[in-house]
C-alpha cells in the first residue's frame, strides 16, 4: 500500500530531508505498512503508514507516544504524525538496537518506569479518547472507580466481544464470576498512573541512545490506571530479567494484593488474544479466571 506522496508530505511537514536513498518494508499489508527509511543525510526513520480505518490506530498510537514523552521519564522515539484524510503517516526515529543489555540497563529502566508511574496524572481512570490494544478497539471512558472501569471497559468489554464470537461456557462462566467479584482482587482507588498499556517484550527495546544503552518503549495503548497493569503485561510474553522486577518493587509503595491484581490484568490480555487469534487461548483464559476464583 506504500504511498510515496504521503511519506514525502510527512517528511516535509516534519522539516526533514525529503530525499529517500533507501527504503525497506518491515511489515504490513493492504491497509498498514511499517517502512524503514534512510535519508540523504544518513539518518534513519521508521514510517508507519495506514489508510482507511487503520489510520485511526496510527493516530491513537501517536497520541500515546506524545503522552509518554511529555511525562519525561521514559525513552520514547521522537515522532511526527501527518494525516491527509486518506492516509496517516507516523514518522519515528529509528531506535538503534543494542548488542547486549546489562543488569544496569534493566535496573535503570525499572527506576524510570517506577518514577513514570508515580508522576501525577489527575484523579480519574481512563483516557481522553478510545484507542486500540493490538487491533482490538479499547474503550477508555472516564471513571472514578477502578473496579467499575475494569468491569465495564476492560474485562467486560473483552467478554462481550468473546460472546459475539460464540465463546463457550468454559470461559464465559468463570470470567463473569471474576467480574462479579472484581472488588476482591483489585483496589477501587489505586494511584492513577499513566499506563503504556501494551508493555510486552516486543515493545520494550534495548537500544543505543546517543552513547549509552537504554530501554526504549514503543507502540503504546495508553490509559490512566493501576501501575501494576503494566507489570502484569511485562510478565506475560518474554519477561525482563529478575533484577528489573526486584528494582521496580523496591521503589513501589503499593504492594497490596499484587498477585491478584497481576492476574486480573493478565486475564484482560488473554481475553484479547482469544478475540484476536481464536480458541487456542481458551485454556489460558479459563485457567487465570479459575486461579482468581480460588483466591
Among 234, 220, 240, 236, which Cα is nearest to 273's? 236
Find the catalytic residue in 93, 173, 198, 219.
198
Phi, psi of 160, deg, nearest 5 = -60, -40
Among 222, 156, 218, 151, which Cα is nearest to 193's? 222
How many CA atoms lie less than 13 Å away from 67 in the CB half-sphere? 24
Among 291, 59, 64, 109, which Cα is nearest to 209's? 109
Phi, psi of 198, deg, nearest 5 = -140, 50
- How far apart CA 112 and CA 194 sit, in angstroms, is 13
41 among known catalytic residues: no
All cell numbers assigned to 189: 482507588
Give the single-character DSSP code of 49.
Answer: E
Is residue 228 within 8 A of residue 191, CB to CB? The reply is no
Question: Which pairs with CB-CB distance under 8 Å and at least 24 residues apart come from 278-284?
Answer: 282/167, 282/168, 282/170, 282/171
Q: Which residues contact 43 (CB under 8 A, 6 or more apart)?
A: 16, 17
194 strand-pairing partners:
224
**Looking only at Cα atoms, what is the longest distance across the chain?**
61
Q: Which residues contact 94 (CB under 8 A, 6 or more apart)?
A: 36, 44, 45, 46, 77
Positions annotated as catalytic residues are 198
Amino acid at each position: 500500500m506504500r504511498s510515496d506522496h504521503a511519506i514525502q508530505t510527512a517528511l516535509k511537514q516534519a522539516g526533514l530531508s525529503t530525499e529517500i536513498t533507501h527504503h525497506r518494508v518491515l511489515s504490513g499489508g493492504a491497509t498498514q505498512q511499517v517502512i524503514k527509511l534512510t535519508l540523504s543525510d544518513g539518518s534513519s526513520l521508521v514510517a508507519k503508514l495506514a489508510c482507511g480505518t487503520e489510520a485511526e490506530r496510527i493516530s491513537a498510537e501517536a497520541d500515546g507516544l506524545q503522552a509518554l514523552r511529555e511525562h519525561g521519564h521514559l525513552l520514547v522515539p521522537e515522532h511526527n504524525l501527518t494525516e491527509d484524510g486518506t492516509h496517516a503517516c507516523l514518522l519515528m526515529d529509528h531506535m538503534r538496537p543494542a548488542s547486549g543489555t546489562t543488569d544496569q540497563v534493566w535496573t535503570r529502566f525499572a527506576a524510570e518506569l517506577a518514577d513514570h508511574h508515580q508522576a501525577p496524572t489527575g484523579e480519574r481512570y481512563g483516557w481522553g479518547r478510545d484507542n486500540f490494544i493490538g487491533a482490538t478497539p479499547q474503550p477508555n471512558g472516564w471513571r472514578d472507580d477502578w473496579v467499575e472501569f475494569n468491569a465495564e471497559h476492560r474485562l467486560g468489554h473483552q467478554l462481550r466481544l468473546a460472546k459475539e464470537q460464540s465463546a463457550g461456557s468454559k470461559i464465559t462462566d468463570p470470567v463473569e464470576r471474576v467480574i462479579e467479584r472484581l472488588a476482591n482482587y483489585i483496589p477501587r482507588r489505586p494511584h492513577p498512573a499513566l499506563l503504556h498499556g501494551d508493555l510486552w517484550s516486543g515493545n520494550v527495546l534495548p537500544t543505543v541512545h546517543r552513547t549509552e544503552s537504554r530501554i526504549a518503549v514503543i507502540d503504546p495503548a495508553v490509559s490512566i490506571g493501576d501501575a501494576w497493569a503494566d507489570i502484569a503485561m511485562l510478565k506475560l510474553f518474554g519477561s525482563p530479567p529478575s533484577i528489573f522486577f526486584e528494582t521496580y518493587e523496591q521503589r513501589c509503595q503499593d504492594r497490596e494484593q499484587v498477585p491478584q491484581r497481576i492476574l486480573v490484568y493478565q486475564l484482560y490480555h488473554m481475553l484479547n488474544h482469544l478475540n484476536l487469534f481464536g480458541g487456542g487461548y481458551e485454556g489460558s483464559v479459563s485457567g487465570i479466571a479459575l486461579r482468581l476464583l480460588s483466591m
